[in-house]
Amino acid sequence: MVRDNNGGMIKPVIVSERMLNALIDRWRSPENKGYFVRGIPGTTPQHNVRSITLLDLKTGKCVTAGTRDNAGALVKFSQQSISKSVAEALAVKLLAENGAANEVKAFERMVGFDASGRPYNDHATYPDRPGVPFNSSVNKGALKTWDIIITQAKKQKRDPFELYLGFERQLAGNSTLNFKQDMANGEFNYRPAEGQESNNMQMLAELQADGSLDNPREEVYLAYCKACAIMVNTEDAARIKAGLRTGRYAGTAGRFMSAEKAEVLTRSTAVHGMYDESGHIFTNTGASAKSGVDGGLIGSLPSKIHGNPDIIFASHHAALNPKGNSLEGNRWLEKLSSMPLIFADDKKLSKVSTLAKGALRNVRDKAAPAIAVPARSPEAMDLELRAGMADGGVQRLEAALNHRLGDHYKGGFYLKEAKSGKSLNGASLLLTETDKKGNDKHYYHVPDKHNIEKVIVTWALPSEYRLP
């Protein structure tokens, strides 16, 4: 037993590969839920590739679970917008090296630390500060951040991207990190329509028109694309986040930034790192989190155990929600944020309960309903409900969806059990028929924002529910 932050005694949850694998298995999404990144050639998102790493800030130890290749190495992904947090830290570092009296304030005059409440690709800047983006996470702010890096690197007569790559390699403790040239070039050359510039190049033109861009648009954008195309795994990403959280390089006592300034940037990321979903994520997890559209997610979670530092979190699963953030990564982050996590050496693991089925039930019973762990994953629930349908039921349900939605039907659905009448808010009845066990089942369509439609299954009518 250990003490929580309020002085009470709690039973800790030991961080282990077994625990993380159990978490992944219980929260698998049905196949094809969500969507994959579009418009970035060279990405190879797959629904069955998943990984999570947790890092202990006391020791630097990583615990990892997830998909590995035939050689046993963790599957890599392009970091994409995770690079924005690294770029922000590097810009502040360079401003200090080049003589800024207060490097954080100097950066904030050019790129804010405020939530915009807008999507990542919105063009808005402060209404009373033309040419100043709200933060470094939205694309316009990230592009201006790269403009700052290039200007400051040139003062030192150094190559801006090589400076960035070396900085990230030190954060990750991995000298082999590199970018995919074809991916960077593909994003740089992408045109959404004949003759039309990309959204990012249009943003750079706007910054230029506002007098807020010091370097050529093409130079800024290519450096940004190369940073997004750096390939990492979740252990690299966790060490990068640990460095950003502490102001130290991986495995060293050397600082690139004071702890106080690293704390300012950490709080800034908590405000805007997940775009217009940032408030929801912070309210539900307390994490300072940053996402990338190839499904990467990094965060620092406040520890629930008294005296322990933050838990560093990194994950990868490529299916995205409508906000552009990893569906499963968000879910894993939320579940882990409810647990009193603690790292222990292998000798202690046998003496303290690990998060097997019994401990999962223990967490579920003590957690609030919003963060309860179900007995089955969404994927398992979908498969079980499909298997129970009468012969031809899947085809009849497809036909009913097609009839109901017409041209708006994208194809595909996933089944979910109703937990209460609230599950059917906004729903419309698609089909009623008897399943293989002779039970009358009702299938309701619930409007969803994903590429795959949600169908709620129940054997009770809404009027028969007792709402909580």
What is the average pLDDT across 255-279? Answer: 94
Cα–Cα distance between 326 and 291 in angstroms, integer? 8
Cα–Cα distance between 387 and 291 in angstroms, integer? 35
Cα–Cα distance between 111 and 90 in angstroms, integer? 14
What is the average pLDDT across 302-320? Answer: 93
pLDDT (tens digit per residue) in 324-352:
999 999 999 999 999 999 998 644 444 44
pLDDT (tens digit per residue) in 294-306:
999 999 999 999 8
User: In the prediction, which pLDDT does 366 show?
Assistant: 39
User: In the prediction, which pLDDT does 466 show?
Assistant: 42
What is the average pLDDT across 359-383? Answer: 51
pLDDT-derived band of residue 387, with 50, 70 and 90 as boundaries?
confident
pLDDT (tens digit per residue) in 429-463:
999 998 888 888 899 999 877 778 889 998 765 55
| Other C-beta atoms lying within 10 Å of the C-beta of residue 58 | 9
What is the average pLDDT across 386-392? Answer: 89
pLDDT-derived band of residue 254, with 50, 70 and 90 as boundaries?
confident
User: In the prediction, which pLDDT does 436 show?
Assistant: 85
Helices 278-285, 327-337: axis angle to 10 degrees equals 30
Mean pLDDT of the chain: 88
User: In the prediction, which pLDDT does 463 show?
Assistant: 52
Cα–Cα distance between 457 and 387 in angstroms, integer? 13
CATH code of the region 1-374:
3.40.710.10
User: In the prediction, which pLDDT does 371 show?
Assistant: 32
What is the average pLDDT across 155-173? Answer: 97
User: ∠ CA 260-266-267 to the nearest 5 degrees?
Assistant: 95
pLDDT over threshold 80, residue 246 = yes
User: In the prediction, which pLDDT does 345 show?
Assistant: 64
Task: List the domain boundaries for the chain.
Answer: 1-374, 378-464
CB 431 within 8 A of CB 396: yes
What is the average pLDDT across 310-322? Answer: 95
